[in-house]
Structure 1
């Protein structure tokens, strides 16, 4: 299996395939949790606001580790609130 790259995710993002790009960024962050390009992209694509910096960190960790449909739905509900 080929390793996902920020470039690959950017291509999906440019094509308007936000969910696919987020999934790639998620895989990148699982391998390299400090990848600033992927962190910034997740924040941008997810609509995370800088005024919620502490909460953003918690939700970014949650995003990286979510596995079930319920967790995905919880993340979506959180996005609607901010």
Structure 2
């Protein structure tokens, strides 16, 4: 029953966008239960998502969260347009 709760928790994290936390739980499940198909499938899915959407650029994140000037906002907008064109 513990593994079901963990899979459920990992799914909740995934839905909330906490992909790294979900991945950690799925990996812990596999350590305890290597045959767990749900965890195996979820890890493959999350790894594929990470491949297509690399981690957030910390510099750009800071410009978005805490712009210090109009130029910072413009720089972030340019980066966002460039990033969006790659999707």
TM-score normalised by length of structure 1: 0.53
- Determine the structure 2 residue equivalent to 1:52: none
Larger Rg: 2
Matched, 1:12 2:16: no
Q: Deviations over 1:19-69 (max 9, x none)?
A: 000000010000000100000000000018xxxxxxxxxxxxxxxxxxxxx
Q: Which structure would you say has the larger RCO, counting Cα contacts within 8 Å and 6 or more residues apart?
A: 1
Aligned residues: 50
- With normalisation by structure 2, the TM-score equals 0.50
Matches within 5 A, 1:1-82: 5-47=6-48, 79=51
